[in-house]
Chains A and B, each alone.
Chain A
Amino acid sequence: MSAPNLKIENLHVSIEDKEIVKGFNLEINGGEIHAIMGPNGTGKSTLASAIMGHPKYEITEGSVILDGQNILEMEVDERARAGLYLAMQYPSEISGVTNADFLRTAINARRGEGNEIPLMKFIKQLDKKMDLLDIDQEFAQRYLNEGFSGGEKKRNEILQLMMLEPKIAILDEIDSGLDIDALKVVAKGVNEMRSPEFGCLIITHYQRLLQYITPDKVHVMMQGRIVKSGGPELAQRLEEEGYDGLKAELGIVDEAEEQEV
């Protein structure tokens, strides 16, 4: 298996005619973990949702190429089957559909008809991953995200990540609302995924998660584009100085119309 490659070039994303992402560039290779940090409302989550194909966002310019294929021409499910994964900040609740049924349907959608995963194999894999993530067995039979606590939802996003084994994963604020124990569990799951066949983009507001998942690259996003890139030490600096120091250094002035997205 060759190492995956995701190339985002000059991406522009609008929501209801307001441009949020304004010329975003990034390349992620298998084996790399990138982190995007930035203040609220700078387009981080918009970027993540738009790449996955969220119906609310419109891509007006640019390209997203996964292993040579332009995924922007694909339907959402095709993007996923091509190897893309998005751990969502606000996962949907689907009543009446158990976690296990949902996961098996998703796995089989990737494997294709006639190549469905044997039930026992599925159960064994699921048990193993749930163990690793400290998830109770009854979790599998609960309805998808219904009545889940914030922490349970995030763990479920990581459980799905581990079961689906995508080539490239985007984790959108997977750390928000987590206590330190849950944060460690989530980090354990992501670290478990590290391999030359897996690339990851972590979107976070705080440096905290990056203490447990060491990124290869850290990028700061402001006003819809990357304004500075560096190594793990950049995250450390932001933790100490906040975003204001960087803004001053780069001469960035807050736009009044910036808003939380």
Chain B
Amino acid sequence: MSTEVTGVQYDSDYIKSFSKDRHEPEWFTDLRLKGLQWVEELPMPKPEKTRIIGWNFTEFEHQPSAKSFSSLEDLPAKIKQLVGQGDQSGNVLIQHNGAPAFRSLTKELEDKGVIFTDLATALKDHGDLIRKYYFTDAVKADENRLTALHAALVNSGTFLYVPKNVAVNVPIQTIYWQENPNAGFINHVIVVAEQGSSVTYVENYLSTEESGAPVANVITEVFVGDNAKVQFGSVDNFSENMTSYFNRRGRVENNGKLEWALGQMNEGNTISENLTDLIGEASAADIKAVSVGRGDQKQNFVNFIRHFGKHSESAMLIHGVQKDSANSIFNGKTKIEHGASKSDGEQTQRVLMLSDQARGDANPILLIEEDDVVAGHAASVGRVDPIQLFYLMSRGITKEDAQRLVIHGFLAPVVNQLPIEEVRAQLTEVIEGKVQ
């Protein structure tokens, strides 16, 4: 394994031809080429207290073969069971090895102007809209080597657009299914909720290939317009061999609200950065994220909320369980910028340690540059309370089950907030598998 990768195995000729094959607009090809150049120039991201030297982010197969399905019935059970049923069904996009494998969007939503499709199709049909949101105000392509690499080699993605004043009452779901030992999954998600609209979006990431050394580089940009509301749920569940970079950003305008519910259940080494900018007056963000570290997995989670708008409000609740010799760093940052008066930012980070060999750090950071605000933080790292165990066991529950109950309870805030029952069940099952 190389320790310092100076470039990628794909050159500008390859990128030009890849882009041409996909009939991408010229501006997009140009951004790819710029990205390739920045890969050479920019440093890797520097997650605090986590050494990522030696992690494979750059060596992968860029165009793995992919399957497609004409009906949900043809999907393997493991994927099919994730799809929302009944009144939570009808709007789903399934991507296999980065390529669209199945898509459905109800006519009702289509008629209202909702766009929900894979990135390649969106570039063809809605190029101007993509141009407005792709690597512009939320994430910049030249932030670091991994964002640059992403711009150069993006090969997967989803675009969800909800027009002004459209309330989407059924969840919109994407399932990213990776099944290749060496794939580089460079996935870009854009969610736009225009003024006065509302939508619930849920995504599942999972890999069914346990061998090899695949790579995930996921960038998500969420735009919440004036008076709009977005509920964004995710279950990240990539296998142990996969190295992941997740970068999720949100921008919230006047009176807008963005609610994140993230089940960060990757089995492999992961860097995750979640940043929400509260731009508008009375804008609000709520982030709930839970994770379970096990084996010798290393993870770094940054959750960051920046208040720019007056009367903006944020709440952050991060719960992590650490087992075996897993090592996770949790950095919670709340920044209230000058001018964001009457803002309120609260954060809580708790780490539950199940092993002496595990490591878990919860670092709360409050940066306040305005006087008239309210902000608070709580952070703790601890074990399962023996008195709680005593209480549960005194009702006849075995020690193992008592511990399981406490852990499930600890991770419940995100499980309960996921809007699709099937996804909730999946996360519960994933947690069950990890903590047993």
Contact = CB atoms under 8 A, between A and B. Distances in A.
A105 interface: yes
Nearest to A54: B390
Which has the most chain B C-beta neighbours within 10 Å: A52, A97, A101, A160? A97
A164 B395 contact: yes
Contacts of B387: 55, 92
Contacts of A76: 390, 393-394
Contacts of B385: 92
B394 to A, nearest CB: 5
Interface in B386-401: 386-388, 390-399, 401
A105 B391 contact: no
Contact of A88 (B391, B398, B408, B411): B391
B405 A105 contact: yes
Nearest to B416: A96
Given A76-B390, A92-B385, A94-B388, A81 B396 contact: yes
A96 B395 contact: no
B329 to A, nearest CB: 24
B379 interface: no
A102 B402 CA distance: 9
A94 B386 contact: no
A94 B394 contact: no
A143 B410 CA distance: 11
Nearest to B319: A96
B7 interface: no
A95 interface: yes
A140 interface: no
A135 to B, nearest CB: 17
Interface string A90-127: 01101111000110011001100000000000000000
B129 interface: no
Nearest to A105: B397
B410 A160 contact: no
Interface string A73-97: 0011101110001101001101111
**Among B394, B406, B411, residue most surrounded by chain A Cβ atoms (within 10 Å):** B394
Contacts of A85: 394-395
A77 B401 CA distance: 10
Contacts of A81: 396
B412 A77 contact: no
B384 to A, nearest CB: 11
Contact-residue bracket for chain A: 20 to 34
B109 to A, nearest CB: 32
B392 A94 contact: yes
B397 A95 contact: no
A114 to B, nearest CB: 16
Contact of A77 (B396, B411, B413): B396
Contact of A96 (B391, B399, B402, B413): B413
B54 interface: no
A20 to B, nearest CB: 18
B399 A97 contact: no
A215 interface: no
B409 A97 contact: yes
A80 B393 contact: yes
Given A96-B408, A143-B409, A106 B396 contact: yes
B397 A106 contact: yes
Given A53-B390, A76-B390, A94-B388, A109 B398 contact: yes
Interface in B335-377: none
Contact of A102 (B386, B392, B411): B392
Contacts of A52: 390, 394
B291 to A, nearest CB: 15
B397 A109 contact: yes
Q: Which of A76, A81, A109 has the most CB of B within 10 A?
A: A76
Given A75-B393, A76-B390, A77-B398, 14 more contacts: A52-B394, A75-B399, A76-B393, A80-B394, A81-B396, A85-B394, A85-B395, A92-B391, A94-B409, A95-B410, A97-B408, A102-B392, A109-B397, A144-B409
Interface of A: 52-55, 75-77, 79-81, 85-86, 88, 91-92, 94-97, 101-102, 105-106, 109-110, 143-144, 160, 164
Interface of B: 385-388, 390-399, 401-402, 405-406, 408-413
23 contacts: A53-B393, A53-B394, A76-B393, A77-B393, A80-B393, A80-B394, A80-B396, A85-B395, A92-B390, A92-B392, A94-B392, A94-B406, A95-B410, A96-B409, A101-B405, A102-B392, A105-B397, A109-B396, A109-B397, A109-B398, A109-B401, A143-B409, A164-B396
A-B interface, 6 closest residue pairs, ranked by CB to CB distance from nearest:
A96-B409, A96-B412, A80-B396, A92-B391, A106-B395, A76-B393
